[in-house]
Amino acid sequence: MKIAHRHTPPRLLAVFFAATLLLGTATPNSAFGAEAPARPQATAFYRITVGDFAVTALSDGAAKRPAEQQLQLLYGDKEKITAALRRAYPDGQIPTAVNAYLIDTGAKLMLIDAGNGRMGSPAMGQMIDNLRAAGYRPEDVDEIYLTHMHGDHVGGLVAETGRAFPQATVYAAKAEAEYWLNDSNLDAAPDAAKRSFQAAKTALAPYIAAGKFQTFAGGGPLTPGIRAEALPGHTPGHTAYFIESKGRTLLLWGDIVHVAAVQFADPAVTIAYDSDRAVAAATRQQILAAAAQNGWLIGGAHILFPGFGRVRADGNGGYVFQPLDE
């Protein structure tokens, strides 16, 4: 594992080396042919290797939601959904997480999503603190790739002084930017949805003003080791990112799954936050099947921290998520 990064100053390197000695580093897992972490690991950040790349999961925070409240947001067979929630969460409280991912290639430092910042629950907004705990600084980040522009993925882009990542260029799918940054769409949106449009505009405005925002069309390579894959439905331009090095693959899939206890077993279940529920369900089924068939390592934004694991078919038309450390 490559520990030093070209941006990391000596003081932070010393902290990082000390943390590495205490926490351990990632080592290969021969059973699955990919990297797995050594224990113990910090709960604020969780580092693995993917080929020559160091990939660090950064927690933006965690919270709990009453199962009855979550049930109202899910679309599908309500009886089956209720039963699944009761089995998984007998106390009636569903834990939720927001994860971001930092990729250190040695040449560049790239962030996938930016968390809530101050736009979400008081339990969230911890990503930048955890980035520092992992041995990096916001000013070290070269590029930021957004899976989509909901507030819990873009809110952390801004701080009181403007850009939270002053050196970084932010990238997003053209379809996503054209939807969320369009004033006509904001004006036409129902009141309940206007907050999402406003969050996107607020988060991206300082980067646009500084010439630090760019879009890309469709999928394909973006920079060495990272390629985009369009996975629409949750939002018009929802995008996943494949991290590839030395024959290893990590898929950071954004919001493909919100409620793991329900949507892995039944990919047809959708959530109120989906822009197009039919497309979201079809996309989820497609990417779950591909992930299971190819044995990709997955990183999920709303799977319990650190969100790393693999998908396997359950033999009944659904899937099971196997966390990396199991």
- The answer for 126, left when phi > 0, alpha when psi is -120 to 50, beta otherwise, is alpha
DSSP for 36-47 reads EPPSP--SSEEE
Element (H, E) at 101: strand 93-104
Task: Name the burial class of residue 88, with classes exposed (0-12), middle (13-18) and buried (19+) by CB atoms within 10 angstroms of its CB.
Answer: middle
- The DSSP call for residue 212 is -
Per the listing, tokens 């190819």 go with: 294
Instruction: List the domain boundaries for the chain.
Output: 10-323
Which pLDDT tens digit goes with each residue over 179-232?
999 999 999 999 989 999 999 999 999 999 999 999 999 899 999 999 999 999
CB count within 10 Å of CB 136 equals 25
Residue 185 in tokens: 């769409």
CATH class assigned to 10-323: alpha beta
Which pLDDT tens digit goes with each residue over 84-125?
999 999 999 999 999 999 999 999 999 999 999 988 778 899
Q: Would you say the pTM of this structure is higher than 0.95?
A: no
Residue 59 in tokens: 């927690």
Per the listing, tokens 């850009």 go with: 163
CB count within 10 Å of CB 267 equals 24
